[in-house]
C-alpha cells in the first residue's frame, strides 16, 4: 500500500513543530532568554546558561519511560521473562532486615506484584511505615537463606562455589586491596602496620613480594598501567613508589599531612594524583617526584577515581561531598567543575569513589560513592557538562566504625540487574541489587571472623577478594555462569 508523500511530509512537519514547542515551553529556558544581563556580569554568562539549559539532562523517569516492551517498563519486563514456571502459585514472604537497619516492616508481596513491579530512579516510592509517597527511598531490605532461594528464580544473583584461597600472613588490619590492571592473577593489599603484600592467586596461590617501608597505615595504592610499579599513600605523610620486579622502593615523596588516596593517570602514567589531609589534590610527576599542580578543597580528600579519558577526577572529602575536577592530560592542571553536597545533617568521610564507563540503568557513565556512615550513592555522569553528577538512587546501610569500602559488581546484563558488593561490620560480604526497591540484599558471603573492610574484583570476574580487620584476606571463587 503506497502512502502519499504529502501525508508523510505533513506528519513529519507536525512532529517537528510539537518537538520545538516542547523545547521552548520550558519556563526556566524562557526566563533565561528574558533575563537582562547585569552591568558587572560576564557578557558570555547568558549564552552559556542558555546552552546548559538547552542541553539539560533528561530526568531518570523520562529515561526509564523510553525503555518499553509489551507496554511495560524495563524492570517489569525483565522480571517477567525471568519468572519461574510456577510463579502463579508462589507465596514469597518478606525477609528480615539487614544488620543496622531502621527496622522497617515490608508487607508480603504477591508473585504478580513482584513480576510487574516498576521502579524509577529518582521517582516516587512508598514509605512502608507511613504509606506516604516520597521523592526517594533508602533501600534496606534483605533476605534469609530460605527466602533467597525463591527470589533467585525470579532474578538470579551472584553465586560462588566457595573459597579459592586464604592469605592470613598479615597480623594487622588489611585496609585496602586491589588486583592489577587487566589482571586476573596479580593481587596486592596494604595493612595498618604499613606493609604492602603482592600475591599471585593462580594455582598454587603464593606471596610474591613483601614491600616494607611505611611506618603507619597504608591508606591507598594504585598499579601503573603495565603493573610494573605500585604507588602507595600512608598516614606517615609519605608517598612511595615501588618497583615490583625487585620489590624495591625507588622514590619517597614527603608531605606535610597524611596522604589518603592516590591514582595513576589512565592515559599519561607520568602523572600521579594524590589526595591528602591538607585538603589538597596534588599532581606529582612520576619521573621526578615533584609536585607540579595542586587544587584546594573544603575538607580532607579521602577517596578518588579517574574517568576513562583522564580528563576528569572524581573525589570525595571528609564531609561526604563529591567533586568533579577537570584535569589537563598534558600539563596536569586542575580546575574544580561541580560539587555534590551531602544531604545528611551529620557529615561522614567518603570511603569509596568508583567510576564506571557504562551502566544499562543510567545509559551512560556512572559513579558509585560510599561513606563511613553506611550511605551508598549511585550517580549518572554527564561528561559533556564537565562531569555533572545526577543522583539516581541511594542505599542506607548500617553505620560503620571502620572505613568500609564498596565496589561495582562487574557483570552487566539486562537479566541480572545492577549489583553492588560491600563489606560489613557483622563480618559478612553483602550483594545489593539497585534495581529492586524491595529485597535489595540478594546474597551474602560468610567466612570472615571480624569486620570486612576491603573488597575487589579481578579482571576475569571469576574471583572476588575481601579483607577484614584481623588481617585475613579471602579469595572467593565465583560459580560458572552460562
pLDDT of residue 190: 95
Residues with Cβ within 8 Å of residue 50, at least 6 apart in sequence = 29, 32, 33
What is the distance between the alpha carbons of residues 246 and 79, in angstroms, rounded to a whole number?
52
pLDDT at 440: 84
pLDDT of residue 124: 32
Are the C-beta atoms of 419 and 433 separated by less than 8 Å? yes
Phi, psi of 383 (to 5 degrees): -65, -30
Whole-number pLDDT of residue 401: 82
Encode the chain (482 residues) as per-residue pLDDT tens digits: 555 545 545 545 555 555 555 545 555 556 655 666 666 666 666 666 666 665 555 555 555 555 555 555 656 655 666 666 555 554 444 333 344 333 333 333 444 443 443 333 333 333 333 333 333 333 333 333 334 333 334 344 578 888 999 999 888 999 999 999 988 899 999 999 999 999 999 878 999 999 999 999 999 999 999 999 999 999 999 999 999 999 999 999 999 999 999 999 999 989 999 999 999 999 999 999 999 999 999 999 999 999 998 999 999 999 999 999 999 989 999 999 899 887 777 788 999 999 998 887 777 899 999 998 888 999 999 888 888 999 988 888 877 788 889 998 876 554 567 889 999 999 999 998 887 777 788 888 999 999 999 999 998 888 999 999 999 999 999 887 55
| Contact (CB, 8 A) for 393 and 138 | no
Grid cell 592469605 is found at: 167
Q: Which residues pair with 210 in a beta bridge?
A: 197
Pairing of strands 419-422, 218-223: unpaired
pLDDT value for 136: 34
3-class secondary-structure state, position 367: strand
CB of 325 within 8 A of CB of 315? yes
Amino acid at each position: 500500500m503506497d502512502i502519499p508523500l504529502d501525508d508523510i511530509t505533513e506528519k513529519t512537519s507536525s512532529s517537528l513543530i510539537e518537538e520545538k514547542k516542547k523545547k521552548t515551553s520550558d519556563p526556566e529556558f524562557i526566563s533565561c532568554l528574558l533575563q537582562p544581563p547585569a552591568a558587572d556580569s560576564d557578557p558570555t554568562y547568558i549564552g552559556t546558561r542558555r546552552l546548559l539549559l538547552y542541553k539539560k539532562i533528561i530526568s531518570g523517569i523520562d529515561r526509564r519511560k523510553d525503555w518499553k516492551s509489551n507496554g511495560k517498563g524495563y524492570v517489569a519486563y525483565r522480571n517477567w521473562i525471568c519468572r519461574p514456571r510456577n510463579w502463579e502459585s508462589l507465596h514469597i514472604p518478606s525477609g528480615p532486615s539487614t544488620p543496622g537497619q531502621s527496622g522497617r516492616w515490608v508487607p508480603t508481596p504477591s508473585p504478580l506484584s513482584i513480576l510487574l513491579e516498576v521502579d524509577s530512579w529518582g521517582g516516587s516510592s512508598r514509605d512502608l511505615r507511613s504509606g506516604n509517597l516520597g521523592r526517594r527511598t533508602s533501600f534496606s531490605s534483605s533476605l534469609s537463606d530460605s527466602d533467597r532461594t525463591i527470589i533467585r528464580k525470579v532474578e538470579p544473583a551472584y553465586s560462588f562455589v566457595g573459597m579459592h584461597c586464604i592469605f592470613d600472613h598479615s597480623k594487622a588490619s588489611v585496609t585496602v586491596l586491589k588486583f592489577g590492571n587487566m589482571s586476573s592473577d596479580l593481587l596486592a593489599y596494604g595493612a595498618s602496620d604499613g606493609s604492602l603484600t603482592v600475591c599471585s592467586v593462580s594455582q598454587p596461590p603464593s606471596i610474591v613480594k613483601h614491600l616494607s617501608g611505611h611506618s603507619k597505615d597504608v591508606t591507598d595504592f594504585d598499579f601503573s598501567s603495565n603493573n610494573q610499579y605500585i604507588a602507595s599513600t600512608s598516614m606517615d605523610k609519605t608517598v612511595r613508589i615501588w618497583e615490583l620486579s625487585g620489590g624495591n622502593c625507588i622514590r619517597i615523596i614527603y608531605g606535610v599531612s597524611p596522604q589518603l588516596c592516590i591514582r595513576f593517570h589512565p592515559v599519561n602514567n607520568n602523572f600521579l594524583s594524590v589526595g591528602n589531609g591538607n585538603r589538597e589534590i596534588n599532581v606529582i610527576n612520576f619521573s621526578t617526584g615533584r609536585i607540579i599542580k595542586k587544587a584546594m578543597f573544603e575538607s580532607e580528600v579521602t577517596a578518588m577515581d579517574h574517568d576513562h579519558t583522564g580528563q576528569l577526577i572524581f573525589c570525595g572529602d571528609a564531609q561526604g561531598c563529591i567533586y568533579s575536577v577537570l584535569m589537563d592530560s598534558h600539563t596536569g592542571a586542575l580546575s574544580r567543575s561541580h560539587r555534590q553536597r551531602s544531604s545528611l545533617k551529620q557529615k561522614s568521610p567518603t570511603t569509596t569513589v568508583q567510576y564506571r564507563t557504562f551502566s544499562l540503568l543510567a545509559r551512560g557513565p556512572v559513579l558509585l560513592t560510599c561513606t563511613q556512615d553506611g550511605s551508598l550513592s549511585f550517580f549518572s555522569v554527564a561528561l559533556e557538562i564537565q562531569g555533572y553528577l545526577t543522583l539516581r538512587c541511594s542505599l542506607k546501610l548500617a553505620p560503620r566504625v571502620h572505613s568500609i569500602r564498596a565496589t561495582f559488581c562487574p557483570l552487566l546484563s539486562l537479566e541480572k540487574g545492577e549489583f553492588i558488593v560491600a563489606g560489613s561490620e557483622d563480618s559478612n560480604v553483602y550483594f545489593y541489587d539497585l534495581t529492586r526497591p524491595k529485597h535489595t540484599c540478594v546474597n551474602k558471603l560468610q567466612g570472615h571472623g571480624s569486620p570486612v573492610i576491603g573488597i575487589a574484583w579481578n579482571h576475569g570476574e571469576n574471583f572476588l577478594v575481601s579483607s577484614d580487620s584481623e588481617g585475613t584476606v579471602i579469595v572467593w571463587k565465583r560459580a560458572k555462569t552460562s
